[in-house]
Structures are given as C-alpha cells and as structure tokens.
Amino acid sequence: MAKIGIVGGTGYTGVELLRLLAHHDDVEVAAITSRAEAGRRVDELYPNLRGHYDLAFSEPDAALLASCDVVFFATPHNVAMNLVPELLAAGTRVVDLSADYRIRDAALWSRWYGEPHASPELLSEAVYGLPERHRAEIAQARLVACPGCYPTAIQLGFIPLLEAGLVDPSHLIASAASGASGAGRQAKVDNLLSETADSFKAYGASGHRHLPEIEQGLAEVQGGPVAVTFVPHLLPMVRGIHATLFARLNGTTDLAALQNLFEERYRDEPFVDVLPTGMYPQTRAVKGANQCQISLVVPQDRDTVVVMSTIDNLVKGASGQAVQNMNIMLGLPENRGLTQVGLLP
C-alpha cells in the first residue's frame, strides 16, 4: 500500500484529496501538514471525515514527507517550489496542485506570479498533468504539475479542434465561470455570501494567471503559437466551472462531423463525456465527480463552433485530477477512488 503525504491539508483542495482518498483501496494517508492547525485532529476541522481518518495536522517535516511514496502539494503558489527539490532528491514523487511548475518558462512564471522561481531547474522536468494529453509521460514522472481548473475545462474543449487543424489558432475565445471555491478557503470581502449571492461578474478580464498556462498547453497541441482571449467570471455557487469556447472554423462546418471528431478523440478517456448533439452540459451534473462533460454546436451553420465544457473545479479541476495522476504514476487503474457519480440534484 502506497504511503501518501499531503502538504497544505486545510484548504479546499486538501480536504477534497482526503475525501477522495478515504475510499481508495491502494493508498494510506500517512501525513497531512498545516502550520496553522498543527496538533488539531483532521476530523475536528472537517467532521465529514469522522471515522475515516485517525490523523492530526502536523508541521511540515521534510523527513516525514520524504518517507512517503507520493506527496501532494495542496498549497498556494511559492510553497512547493521551495520543498520539492529536497523531496525529489530523497526519491519521493510529487503531484503539485499549485501553479509552481505549470509554466515552463521561469521568466514568464515570474512575470505572472511576481517573484523569482525558487527551483527553475525543475520546470523542464515537470510533466503537465493533463492525462488526456500526457498519460505516458505522467506514468514515468517524478514531478507532475496538476493543471488549473480553468485550463482543464478550456483545453479539453479546444484540443480536438486544434489537433485536427479545423480552427484558426490565432482567434480562440474562452468565456468561463467558476464557483466561489475556486478562490480558495480564505477570508475575502469579494467572496462573502452577501457579495456573491444573486450576482454574476467578470474578473481578471485584462489578464488572468491561468492564461499563459492555457496558451502553453494549446500551443503544444497546435504545434505553433495560439492566441486565446480568456475572460473568467464568478458564479454565485460553491462548486463548478462552465466554459463556453468559441473558435473560427477553417474547415468543415458540418456539426455531425465535428461531433464525431470529439466522440472519437475522447472515446477511451474515462473522465471525459461527450454529450449527444442537442444536450448541453450543466455544472450540477459533474458536481463531486472527476468528470468533464462536453457539448458543441455550430450556430446558424456559420463559421464559428461553440464548445461547452463543464467540470467540478475541486475534482477534475484539482484534487480528482491529482488522484488520477497519482494512479497513473503508481501503475494503478486510472479510475481507482474516482468512481463517484455527480450530485444531481
């Protein structure tokens, strides 16, 4: 049984990892860290985990974490990049849910995150953890950079079109909306119930940190530069992302052919569900599940294809995808611990 460590266990992605791993037959969570909650029982802070864990939060201890087979970093940016080199040197494999290793260009990372990268020598080694693109590399990786939530939903929607060369890569548009949990478990006025309820707003419209990650991934698919206009929005709900994607077709505008393209591309992907023509994805259908549901239309038979992509930002957009990566790294069935059905209604 593999020993698992979690750094940063008190945030939403940390507790989501605990929820998913509680029913995973092949792993045991041996350590979970939190400087703020050190010494406090996990099930005291998260009573939904009562009966599943006999663990208390502890201070980060490199020696204890290095004794684990895989360590997850469920931390804000700039934490993993300081500790990961020591863990890799000890032979521990790492899945980082933060943004520290997603962008391979250290200068570009610094421009978006406002500080020098602490371990830039690892950026070229880190494998981008989108299994639908990099499954073979993930299996051999020491360090996996788990994709962001918006980038997951957006890339899965655009990938088949770019692989087939059917759209203009210089004119991609992503309008995406997320529940409030995407901002993390922290006190911010903008995230208060009275600020978010009965409202809908854009944010980061002039430039969002997920944009370079999205363009980097799609440029690899395209084999050349891409340009994405990305506008995120805040939804008055806890979980979920709905991404509406627009691309100008330079090939077929036949919806049946495009539908077939998506179905064939994702036919063997256990966590991507291409819906039948005329059926549109809903965030509630994937809530709690490691699932991306996709639908597409060509409005008025014109030259623009619209792809709709939904995920749970805390599952397929974060912790579920991290567990999916761990399963691949350990040679386990990819769906182990990830068979939850979406919570509908």
Neighbours of 192 (CB within 10 A): 11
**Set 68, 146, 149, 292: catalytic member:** 149
Non-local CB neighbours of 78 within 8 Å, separated by 6+ positions = 100, 113, 115, 118
User: What are residue 158's phi and psi, to 5 degrees?
Assistant: -90, -25
CB neighbour burial string for 22-32, b if at least 16 within 10 angstroms, e if fewer: eebebbebbbb
Distances (CA, A) of 166 to 28, 250, 253, 269, 281: 45, 5, 9, 21, 23
pLDDT per position as a tens digit, 191-229: 787 888 889 999 999 999 999 999 999 999 999 999 999
User: What are residue 211's phi and psi, to 5 degrees?
Assistant: -60, -50
**Which residues of the chain are modeled with pLDDT < 70?**
none
d(CA 278, CA 285): 16
d(CA 221, CA 252): 19
d(CA 125, CA 106): 13
Structure confidence at residue 193 (pLDDT): 79
d(CA 311, CA 177): 11
Distances (CA, A) of 4 to 65, 95, 99, 101, 209: 8, 11, 21, 20, 29
Our CA dihedral for 248, 302, 152, 160, rounded to 10 degrees, sits at: -80
pTM score of the predicted model:
0.96
Alpha helix segments (H runs only) across the chain: 12-21, 42-45, 62-66, 80-89, 106-113, 131-140, 149-163, 193-196, 210-222, 255-265, 283-286, 320-329
Beta-strand pair 228-234/143-145? unpaired
User: What are residue 339's phi and psi, to 5 degrees?
Assistant: -95, 15
The DSSP letter of residue 30 is E
Structure confidence at residue 188 (pLDDT): 78
All domains of the chain, ordered by start, with CATH?
Answer: 2-125 (3.40.50.720), 150-313 (3.30.360.10)
146 is catalytic: no
d(CA 7, CA 38): 12
Counted residue by residue, the chain has a size of 345
The DSSP letter of residue 317 is I
Structure confidence at residue 190 (pLDDT): 78
Q: 62, 31 in Cβ contact below 8 A?
A: no
d(CA 25, CA 147): 25
Structure confidence at residue 3 (pLDDT): 97
CA distance between the termini of the chain: 36
d(CA 209, CA 272): 25
Structure confidence at residue 95 (pLDDT): 98
Element holding 276 (H helix, E strand) = none
